[in-house]
Amino acid sequence: MNDPRTTIIPGLRYQDAPAAIEWLCRAFGFERHLVVPGEGDTIAHAQFTFGNGMIRLGSAGEHGGGYDELMATPAESGGTNTQAS
């Protein structure tokens, strides 16, 4: 493969997104690309880079805009796995 750019950007939801952001940057070296704060110490949307890769994340719960119906944490789904590869 001659072009190693990212083609898949996963989206994650966290109960405590601000703490998750700090941990991901400190533990793995992700760099903040965009962080949009939400109401009440939540994160509406955030993007982080790591080399050629990127992840997106936000706070769990209902925020409006339609995306909430498409995403859930394991706690919000009764403890089931919410992703697979």
| Total number of domains in the chain | 1
| Residue 75 falls inside a structural domain | no
Question: Is the pLDDT confidence value at 72 over 80?
Answer: no
Local confidence band at 8 (pLDDT 50, 70, 90 cut-offs)? confident
pTM: 0.75
Q: Could you tell me if residue 21 is inside a domain?
A: yes
The predicted structure's pLDDT at residue 67: 65
The DSSP string of 8-44 is: ---EEEETTHHHHHHHHHHHH--EEEEEEE-SSS-EE
Cα–Cα distance between 60 and 75 in angstroms, integer?
10
For residue 55, the domain's CATH number is 3.30.720.120
Per-residue pLDDT reduced to its tens digit, 24-62: 999 999 999 999 999 899 999 999 999 888 999 998 877
CA 17 to chain CA centroid, nearest Å: 8
pLDDT exceeds cutoff 90 at 76: no
Domain of residue 35, residue span: 11-62
Asked if residue 57 belongs to a domain, the reply is yes
Residue predicted with more confidence, 71 or 16: 16
